[in-house]
Amino acid sequence: MSHNHQKKMAVVNDFCGFGRCSLAVSIPIVSAMKIQCCPLPTALFSNHTGFESFYSDDFTDHMDAYMDEWVKLNLRFHGILTGFLGSPKQIGIVKRFLEQFKTEETVTVIDPVMGDYGKLYSTYSPELAKKMKELVPYADILTPNLTEACILTQRDYLHDPTAEQLEEICKELNAMGPKKIVISGLERGEDLENFIFEEGKAPCVLREHKVGPCRSGTGDVFSSMIAADAVNGVPFRESVKKASAFIAKVLRRALELDLPKTDGLCFEEFLTEI
């Protein structure tokens, strides 16, 4: 019996019970885009780390046994998306996962979740951030924010980078492996930009008007849509434009509902549109 008649995507990320981020975002979005989402948890959170208090449990010691069962089932994935990793040891585990399951038919999207606004997240160590670079060669598509792009290329954080500086960063990342890169969420006054790099093409910038404050899980919505579109054969630039417009629409609705920033994006109201 084969389990591989339907498109499937493995998503390696933490599970967060409240706050709309990580697997709690990817599972519904990838599913709505007609792909079976197969989660591999890296950690469990009651609610994300943006809250004053949260419960968490590291899943590192369970990941190998979890993966082994998927090997027994002979699962094949059209896509793999990686996000938040909880410990340096998980880098090696994810590398083994990619070596086991990535084929020529698999689109791999690495979202190198590490920090924002020039700083590492509170749960990240410098050692883990340094080792994240080891996953970049496995990526077909890389979706860092500016902080993460600077860390991966060992640069000081750039507060207002020029297009030339962004292209230089992308070329350095491209040399590590990924052919498609988007540096997301660049703040330009009242707008947000996504800088898009594709090997062999001139870079371009997509801009959306900034809607309200930054919210948790925005990057997870973005990377999930990019990964699912890649599996479905949507051109990269079209996919980035689609994801950016969707997020802007959801952010406007979040403002209408007066949702706290910590509660993330109310994407559920628009899932049928993607």
CATH of domain 8-142+217-273: 3.40.1190.20
In the structure encoding, which two tokens stand for residue 262, read together? 């910590």
CB 52, CB 39: distance < 8 Å: no
Q: What is the pTM of this model?
A: 0.95
Q: Where are the domains of the chain?
A: 8-142+217-273
- Does residue 182 have a pLDDT over 90? yes
Q: In the prediction, which pLDDT does 118 show?
A: 84
Name which of 41, 45, 39, 42 is nearest 18 in CA terms: 45
Q: In the prediction, which pLDDT does 30 show?
A: 98
User: CA-CA distance, 247 to 221, in Å (whole number)?
Assistant: 8
Average pLDDT over residues 145-155: 95
SS3 210: coil
Average pLDDT over residues 251-272: 94
Worst-scoring range by mean pLDDT, 121-135, 170-184, 236-250, 255-269? Answer: 121-135
pLDDT tier at 86 (50, 70, 90 boundaries)?
confident
Average pLDDT over residues 11-31: 97
Average pLDDT over residues 83-92: 93
pLDDT tier at 129 (50, 70, 90 boundaries)?
confident
What is the percent of the chain where pLDDT is above 90?
84
Question: Can you give 25-65 as a three-state secondary structure string?
Answer: HHHHHHHHCCCEEEEEEEEEEEECCCCCCCCEEECHHHHHH
